[in-house]
Amino acid sequence: MAAVPAADIERRVLLIVSGGIAAYKALETVRLLRKAGVAVRCVLTRGGAQFVTALSLQALSEDKVYDDLWSLTDESEMGHIELSRQADLVVVAPASADILAKMTAGMADDLATTVLLATDKPVLVAPAMNVRMWEHAATQSNLETLVRRGVSVIGPNEGPMACGEYGPGRLVEPEALTAAVLRRLNAAPAASAGADRPLAGRRALVTSGPTHEPIDPVRYIANRSSGRQGHAIAAALAALGAEVTLVSGPTQLPDPAGVAVVRIETAAQMEAACRAALPADVAVCAAAVADWRVADRGAHKLKKRPGEPPPPLPLAENPDILMGLSAPGPSRPALVVGFAAETEKVAEHAAEKRARKGCDWILANDVSEGSGTFGGADNEITLITAEGAEPWPRQTKAQAAEALARRIADHFKAAARDAAE
Ligand code: CTP
């Protein structure tokens, strides 16, 4: 990434990194924000410095990191008032229980809290802490007060925690945080200037997550898809200016910012929601749609009857949504992209799938044992187009989503150029 002097960029974030194991996610968030053209200046609290270094933040933000209220150089170069004055948005991520309590009480005993007390800019906090600290009445009441005062909150997510417990308290993922920051910035008047939005005016449809196929009113067939890749793609397309509809099966993920989310459960509902979302310029099918549903879904709970064999569960085939969207016709999106999960001969099998389903591109995932793709943070993709196979480096799902969104933007740019010639 070319070095861009922070002060020359229109949209500016002051990121306060407080203490907590989740501070490492701040690093990825800085990278994603920089990639989206946002200038990031960081304030690192003493607690935060126990988990990430000022050097890492400095390298990623390409700017000086501020950590000391009493540094005479900083105060003469840039006082704490000036720090927030130069930002369009102040973000606290991770926001520890301690910093939230200090914000609520109006304490100002270090640079971060002094900036927060002095700022007149919008503030977004992304809490991260142990589940009991999060659920404590003190934290909840602090949050309520802060929200009443106009502070925006994103997260926390629910899941396994570094402390070994399970529950709400995890910092939202960097891509969701980045999208939330971009949305807040877009709401601000200074935001649009200089923004990189090559997909502005384009409509995108993305499917994500698993489907749940009911057996009876209380049971269902499901799969382990987390929805992370599909949600990241929706966020990345929106970050480039597309108007995105995300049709998602049940996931634990927060809605990506700036995206219209339609929540469904079954493949049939996903298909209907996709049809309703057309027309679209591009469709990306990242959902792990169940291949089959239970043919005769019981209206009542199946009863276990002593001495009787288990009930048979005849299956019926679900509609293939990717194939349906790829079928020629007036409502076919100009670009249809599917995924293929492969364990061997990745490019070969995915090319066959591309031909069979009629889509334009296939992103072939290597899901062989040990690849860590399923449910993991990384992805190893080979892009299959009419021109051939292009292996991408192993990267995070957020990076893969950004790469795809860029590729889609380039495709439309080239198509518009061809049409003009
Ligand atoms: N897909 C879909 N509707 C279905 C099934 C799949 O839209 N009913 C889409 C998925 O979103 C994905 C692609 O088709 O884009 C995956 O195709 P699929 O045939 O399910 O292949 P794999 O998951 O790769 O597995 P397999 O080859 O074992 O069938």
On whether residue 236 sits in a domain, the answer given is yes
- Distance from the alpha carbon of residue 340 to the mean position of ligand 1, in angstroms: 6
Kindly give the pairing relationship between strand 243-248 and strand 260-263.
parallel
On whether residue 57 sits in a domain, the answer given is yes
Q: In which domain, by residue range, is 98 found?
A: 10-188
- Distance from the alpha carbon of residue 391 to the mean position of ligand 1, in angstroms: 20
Residues 138, 156: one domain?
Answer: yes
- The pLDDT, as a whole number, for residue 69 is 61
Number of other residues whose CB lies within 10 A of the CB of residue 194: 12
- The pLDDT, as a whole number, for residue 78 is 54
CA–CA gap between residue 207 and residue 286 (Å, rounded): 5
Atom of ligand 1 nearest to the CA of 322: 7
Residues 339, 221: one domain?
Answer: yes
| Structure tokens, 409 | 């933007």
Residues 315, 397: one domain?
Answer: yes
Residues of the chain below pLDDT 70: 1-10, 69-79, 187-195, 371-376
Atom of ligand 1 nearest to the CA of 324: 7
Residues 168, 231: one domain?
Answer: no
Protein residue whose Cα sits closest to atom 25 of ligand 1:
341
- Distance from the alpha carbon of residue 320 to the mean position of ligand 1, in angstroms: 7
Number of domains comprising the chain = 2
On whether residue 170 sits in a domain, the answer given is yes
Atom of ligand 1 nearest to the CA of 339: 15
Sheet of 65-66: strand order equals 65-66, 39-44, 12-17, 89-95, 123-127, 152-153
Protein residue whose Cα sits closest to atom 8 of ligand 1:
320
Mutate to test the pocket of ligand 1, among 289, 342, 404 (most ligand atoms within 8 A of CB): 289
Residues 416, 385: one domain?
Answer: yes
Query: What's the CA angle centered on 195, arms 192 and 199, to 5 degrees?
Result: 105
Residues 331, 367: one domain?
Answer: yes
On whether residue 2 sits in a domain, the answer given is no
Atom of ligand 1 nearest to the CA of 290: 8
Q: How far is CA 154 from the centre of its chain?
A: 12
Residues 167, 209: one domain?
Answer: no
On whether residue 42 sits in a domain, the answer given is yes
**Main-chain phi, psi angles of 69, to 5 degrees:** -65, -35
The reported pTM is 0.60
Ligand 1: which residues within 6 Å by Cβ? 207, 267, 285, 287, 289, 291, 318, 320-322, 338-341
Q: Which residues does residue 44 pair with via DSSP β-bridges, in sequence order?
A: 17
359 is catalytic: no
Residues 218, 338: one domain?
Answer: yes
Protein residue whose Cα sits closest to atom 12 of ligand 1:
339
Domain boundary among 140, 161, 188: 188
On whether residue 3 sits in a domain, the answer given is no
- Distance from the alpha carbon of residue 67 to the mean position of ligand 1, in angstroms: 49
CATH number, domain of 73, equals 3.40.50.1950
- The pLDDT, as a whole number, for residue 375 is 60
Q: Residues 42, 163, 285, 359: which is the catalytic one?
A: 163
Residues 177, 251: one domain?
Answer: no
- Distance from the alpha carbon of residue 405 to the mean position of ligand 1, in angstroms: 21
- The pLDDT, as a whole number, for residue 73 is 52
